[in-house]
Amino acid sequence: MVIEKLRTRLNFPSLDVPRKSATSIEEIEAAAEYCRNHWDLGLDRPVLQVGRIMERAGVIIVPHVIQTTKVDAFSRNGPTTIIFLNQAIQSTSRWNFDIGHECGHLVLHSGIPTGTIETERAADRFASAFLMPRKAFAREFTRMGSFSWKYIFDLKRSWQTSAQAIVRRAYDLGLLGAVGYRRAFKYMSMKGWRTTGEPAEPAFQQPELLSTALSELSKVGLTLDGLCRELHFTADTFQAVTGVSVPAPEAIPRDVIPFPTTI
């Protein structure tokens, strides 16, 4: 409702999310690589701002109050495409994977019911392939030699993904055997990283598109309070729905939302 109201007043980026039919592992890997190339990301470097990439592609990302930590994120596909992230998840690397996972649903499962084991596994594989393209990731992972947690966390800082996602990606690509994979996850469980969070988290990346749109309200003769009144929202409800609690500062009038170009 908030976004539909804003769309009547402001110009948002056009939706630019490829649609790919993929069921096999190779097809999913290829779909993720296609998307990276489509968005000019290449296949040889990390994506440092995955949320910004999706927002530039016209997908609105909203930190949302979800009354459980068992749901990291969900998405809505349609004329207004939205990814909702659970505000309770205080982990940038986990949010990055969640965005990649929901991107996988948008790319692979347009018009297909999700939530099944098959669609969730496909979205997970897409996220891994999108965030850690196989050739570049394999090249860096194999430099480690013998398994080293210090090197795993160096990779985490580089690829902006969790240690759990890195270990799983290495296993999926045959770079880490079953015994090493189980040993690594047993160690992460013992350290509490799978429940209370990992060390060496990347800097938090706040979604930008919706907050930028809200900062433009004054240019079209509307205040944040006025928008709340039009929607019959309290301030608390508005924050729960949008993740935005305070008005953004005034900016130079223009009709189109300015958007950062750095990725």
Least confident of 15-29, 56-70, 177-191: 56-70
Whole-model pTM: value is 0.87
**Over 60: is that where the pLDDT of 252 sits?**
no
pLDDT of residue 248: 45
Beta bridge partners of 84: 62, 74
N- to C-terminal Cα separation, the chain: 29
pLDDT of 246 above 80: no
pLDDT confidence of residue 253: 52
Most confident of 64-73, 154-163, 227-236: 154-163
pLDDT exceeds cutoff 50 at 238: yes
* Cα torsion angle, 208, 209, 214, 216, sign: positive
> How much is the pLDDT for 257?
61
Most confident of 136-145, 216-225, 235-244: 136-145
Identify which has the larger pLDDT, 127 or 207: 127
pLDDT band at 5 (very low <50, low <70, confident <90, very high): confident
